[in-house]
Structure 1
Amino acid sequence: DISALGHRELDQHRELRDLVRLAAWEMPLLSTLQKPFTPPQRAQTPLRWRYTTYMGEQHPAQAKVVVEFRPKDLVELNEKQREKLLKLVGSRWDPLRGVVRMSSEGFETQAQNKRYLGDVIASLIAEATDPNADSFEDIPLDTRHVKRKPQYPFPPHWLLTEARKKELEGLRREQLLEEGGKVEKNLLVSGEAAIEE
């Protein structure tokens, strides 16, 4: 009989042969089931979920779930209901990108946080579509939380034209000549000369 290590080696060899046999005989049969890929449309999947993983390590931020959606992709809402939804979400609405972004990390697992966010979004949509609730038409949409970055025009005198390139090259050449003259007059200490001495 052979040792336990030899039996383990034979088991690995048998498993590898089973996988090769499967790849040779069973995998080609799967090609009959293939379908062309059509990407999902935004109206079908308006919610985009983002998770954070740390590759098997435990981390406090691992349970955080972020959801983003565009209110215009929620086809069941009309324009007034959509505006009410934006007023309800408040500062989670980014008018520059047109996206509502919400996150949750209050529960221990990602599944619980995702379920919570799904429930919050469902309750927001239910409140926005409720005909008996206040419509908030008298309240303007608040966008004070959005800080627009100023867009500064590029100064035209900073552009490198041919004349400017020649001018800069002349200035560099003058500086090199001036520095070389100072080295010759021993006004500047040459590092190479100091090392050689």
Structure 2
Amino acid sequence: MISLSSRFSQRNLLLFRLTLCRHFPGFSRRGPSRRRDPVAELYDIENMPVYEFDAMTKPGFDIFLAQQEVRNYLRKTKYELPQLSKFAEEFIPPSPTSILCFKNSYYIGESSPIQNKVVLTIELHSIKALLTQKQLHKFVLLCGPRFNGIEFKFSCDKFPHTNQNKKYLSDLVDKLLEEAKVKDDKFEDIPMDTRHIEKRLKKKKLRGLKFPVEWYRPPAKDTKVKT
């Protein structure tokens, strides 16, 4: 076999190599004069294996991650929860002077903006113990639609932390109580607006309605299709 160096001159050999590199890029990377890059060889399109459609799909991988998360919680339930029994405390019911009831939601394993929201409820009988009849009437007028006839309900999610929202609601109730005790104007001539209460009760009644028996169709005597 005759070598290329014996048939062509040095200049023609160089031109021949440039032509091969132009038409076959892999020839220049695998040439003896260039150093191989392991990363480039790994992600080279020419070196990629043929896809056999045997890899895990995206839905299957999501199921795998969900199962892995469940197994993680099961391990915590078995090995970590029994260790928390030594920190258990006896339940002490709230005292009659504790009239504020805070509620907030918490999602395990994920973050949600709803976790920062705090809902404050106050029973009507708790407010009656702090105010007179005239002061209670003014307090109800100041609360407006936040009073549903049974309890007062306030919510706040304007701050990034739960404690900040709790403090805001607590200060808001204190301001309402102070304003209700002001003797300048008791708003005795203004009646309480109960439209939102009546609307809520009406919706509650409509949910309990049943289909009238008189509207039922009598069963057909002959249901067979005539052929």
TM-score bucket (shorter structure): 0.5 to 0.7
CA separation in 1, counterparts of 2:169 and 2:144? Answer: 16
Aligned match of 1:188:
none
Question: How far does residue 130 in structure 1 lie from its aligned partner after superposition?
Answer: 2.4
Aligned to 2:139: 85
Equivalent residues in 2 for 1:54-69, closer than 5 Å: 54-69=107-122
Query: Structure 1-normalised TM-score?
Result: 0.57
Cα distance change, pair 64–38 in 1 and its aligned pair in 2 (3 A): closer
Q: How far apart, in 2, do the equivalents of 1:138 and 1:149 lie?
A: 27
Structure-2 change in CA distance of 1:55 and 1:78 (3 Å): same
After TM superposition, list the pairs within 5 Å mapping 1:155-166 onto structure 2.
Answer: 158=213
Partner residue in 1 for 2:222: 174
Which runs of 5 or more residues in structure 1 are unaligned?
1-15, 28-33, 186-197
Question: How far did residue 110 of structure 1 move?
Answer: 0.6
Quick check: 1:145 aligned with 2:196? yes
Task: Give the gaps of 5 or more residues in structure 2.
Answer: 1-78
| Length, aligned pairs only | 139
- Counterparts of 1:14-163 in structure 2, within 5 Å, are 39-40=93-94, 43-74=96-127, 75-95=129-149, 98-131=150-183, 133-146=184-197, 147=199, 148-149=201-202, 151=205, 158=213
Give the TM-score taking structure 2 as reference length: 0.51
State how far apart, in whole Å, the 2-side matches of 1:122 and 1:144 are.
26
Q: Distance in 1 between matches of 2:167 and 2:141?
A: 23
Q: Post-superposition shift, 1:136?
A: 1.1
Following superposition, the deviation at residue 61 of structure 1 comes to 1.8
2: CA distance between counterparts of 1:117 and 1:157? 46
CA-to-aligned-CA distance 1:40-64 (integer Å, 9 cap, x gap): 46x3332221101121422122210
Please name the residue that 1:8 is paired with.
Answer: none
Let me know the Cα RMSD of the aligned residues. 3.5
Structure showing greater Rg:
2
CA gap 1:157/1:116 in 2 versus in 1, 3 angstroms: closer
Task: Say which structure, 1 or 2, has more relative contact order (CA 8 Å, 6+ apart).
Answer: 1
Cα displacement (A) at 1:89: 0.6
Aligned mates of 2:211, 2:155 — CA distance in 1: 44
Query: After alignment, is 135-144 or 150-159 more displaced?
Result: 150-159
